[in-house]
């Protein structure tokens, strides 16, 4: 200000030493976040030296000291703040007593210093609140990402089961029919025609189901979604299996009732996979499918009179399981998804093979 507004004649002139000392009282603020207490002490010492040695032109309020005191309130611990606060009160009292020794100056200086301290604490609270919000947002983002990854993994597993069930069943039926075709052509041409029709029908059904599933996976267009096969479609499934030469019986006992679509789809896939294993591995002449409706559960049993377990062993196969264990694993996964259990092994008399799945239906609502 002395460069803009001339000083009174009774005041000492403004010289470069005064400006240098004033600047020296501000420079420590550069390091105020690294060492707030040391910076505050340095500023107070420079201010005292300025008053004692030069007493030249300067600001009437210690702005640098207020900023340093604000930083102490913002960054330091409670113990450090308490110590610095008492020292500040003592310093202010001595400074005012040396300067004017008036209550007005003392109260004004204490008020301004207290306001700087309060602003520092408010800023500390605001920063802590902002950091908590950011941390919570980061945690939610991580949780959402983990949930999305888990959902994607579950969806991949579901699609893999569906693809396995559809293709394994269709290809097994087509292979059996194709192998029987040449024999039927020589011995019973009318049966050969039926076998070829069964192959075509099985292929068309598999293609339709695969087209629906692959359409759902597309992101560039909205694919129509047909309902999943349920218990009502078991009749067509069993008829196709009969076309392979197997004798198939189907029975439902207990209070038959409608079930949720997801549960019915699980029943259909379980029966489909069990029949596929019979066609591929059992060498059976007959297979029986039985649905037992209980009050709280539905029991699905598929029993055949084939070779039973332990035939055509493979390296790493599970004892008591037939070759191609992915299907049985898929059956267990489907049962577990509905809170049920799955068991497979030889029939009680030691012959053939039985797949028994218990699905929980208590509390389920139709269409849920």
> Which of 113, 138, 163 is the last residue in one of the domains?
138
Mean pLDDT taken over the chain: 78
Q: Please determine, for residue 319, whether its predicted confidence score (pLDDT) is greater than 50.
A: no
Residue 46 burial (CB count, 10 A): 20
Res 316: pLDDT:
33
Tokens of 275: 């029949």
* Residue 254: count of CB within 10 angstroms of its CB: 13
Q: Of the segments 101-115, 128-142, 170-184, 273-287, which one has the largest average pLDDT value?
A: 128-142
Predicted confidence (pLDDT) per residue in 325-336, tens digit: 566 777 888 888
CB atoms within 10 A of CB 154: 11
User: What total of structural domains would you count in the chain?
Assistant: 2
**Domain ranges, residue 60:** 16-138
pLDDT for the residue numbered 135 = 92
Q: Confirm whether 48 is domain-assigned.
A: yes
Top mean pLDDT of 19-28, 212-221, 296-305 is at 296-305
Identify the pLDDT of residue 194: 65
**DSSP 3-state of 266:** helix
Residue 350 lies in a domain: yes
In a domain, 364, yes or no: yes
Using a 10 angstrom Cβ sphere, with 0-12 exposed, 13-18 middle and 19 or more buried, the burial of residue 342 is: buried
Percent of the chain with pLDDT strictly greater than 90: 18
Q: Judge whether residue 298 has pLDDT over 80.
A: yes
pLDDT band at 212 (very low <50, low <70, confident <90, very high): low
3-state secondary structure of 254: coil
* The last residue of a domain, from among 138, 163, 185: 138
In a domain, 260, yes or no: yes
Q: What is the pLDDT of residues 342-363, one digit of tens each?
A: 888 888 777 788 899 999 887 5
pTM for the predicted model, two decimal places: 0.47
Q: How confident is the model at residue 366 (pLDDT cuts 50, 70, 90)?
A: very low
Q: Within a domain: residue 230? A: no
Instruction: Check which CATH number belongs to the domain holding 355 and give it.
Output: 3.30.565.10
Measured in residues, the chain has a length of: 368
Of the residues 121, 138, 155, the one at which a domain ends:
138
> Band of the pLDDT at 72, cuts 50, 70, 90?
very high
Kindly report which listed range (158-167, 177-186, 203-212, 217-226) carries the lowest average pLDDT score: 217-226
pLDDT tens for each residue of 170-208:
777 777 667 666 766 666 666 666 667 667 777 777 777
pLDDT for the residue 100? 74
pLDDT of residue 315: 32
- Determine, yes or no, domain membership for 20: yes
In this structure, is residue 239 part of a structural domain? no
Q: Over range 57-73, report the average pLDDT.
A: 79
Contacts (Cβ under 8 Å, ≥6 apart) of 281: 306, 307, 311, 312, 322, 323, 324
- Structure-model confidence comparison of residues 71 and 239, the more confident one: 71
């Amino acid at each position: 200000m002395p460069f803009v507004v001339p000083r009174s004649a009774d005041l000492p002139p403004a010289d470069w030493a005064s400006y240098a000392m004033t600047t020296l009282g501000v420079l420590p603020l550069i390091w105020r976040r690294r060492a707030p207490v040391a910076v505050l002490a340095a500023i107070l010492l420079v201010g005292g030296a300025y008053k004692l040695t030069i007493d030249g032109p300067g600001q009437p309020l210690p702005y640098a000291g207020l900023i340093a005191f604000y930083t102490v309130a913002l960054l330091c611990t409670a113990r450090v703040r308490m110590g610095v606060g008492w020292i500040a009160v003592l310093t202010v009292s001595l400074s005012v007593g040396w300067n004017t020794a008036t209550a007005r100056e003392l109260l004004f200086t204490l008020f301004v210093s207290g306001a700087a301290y309060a602003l520092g604490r408010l800023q500390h609270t605001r920063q802590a609140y902002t950091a908590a919000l950011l941390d919570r947002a980061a945690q939610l983002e991580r949780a959402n990402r983990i949930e999305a990854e888990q959902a994607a993994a579950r969806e991949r597993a579901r699609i893999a089961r569906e693809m396995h069930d559809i293709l394994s069943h269709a290809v097994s039926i087509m292979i059996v029919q194709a192998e029987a075709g040449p024999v039927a052509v020589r011995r019973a041409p009318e049966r050969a025609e039926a076998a070829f029709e069964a192959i075509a029908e099985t292929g068309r059904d598999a293609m339709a189901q695969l087209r629906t599933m692959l359409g759902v996976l597309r992101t560039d267009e909205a694919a129509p979604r047909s309902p999943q096969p349920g218990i009502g479609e078991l009749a067509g499934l069993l008829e196709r299996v009969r076309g392979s030469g197997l004798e198939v019986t189907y029975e439902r006992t207990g209070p038959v009732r409608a079930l949720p679509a997801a549960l019915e789809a699980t029943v259909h896939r379980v029966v489909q996979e069990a029949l596929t294993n019979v066609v591929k591995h059992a060498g059976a002449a007959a297979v029986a499918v039985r649905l037992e409706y209980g009050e709280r559960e539905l029991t699905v049993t598929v029993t055949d009179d084939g070779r039973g377990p332990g035939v055509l062993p493979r390296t790493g196969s599970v004892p008591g399981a037939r070759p191609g264990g992915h299907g049985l694993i898929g059956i267990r996964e489907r049962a577990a998804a509905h809170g049920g259990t799955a068991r497979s092994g030889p029939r009680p008399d030691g012959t053939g093979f039985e797949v028994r799945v218990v699905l929980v239906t208590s509390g389920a609502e139709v269409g849920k």
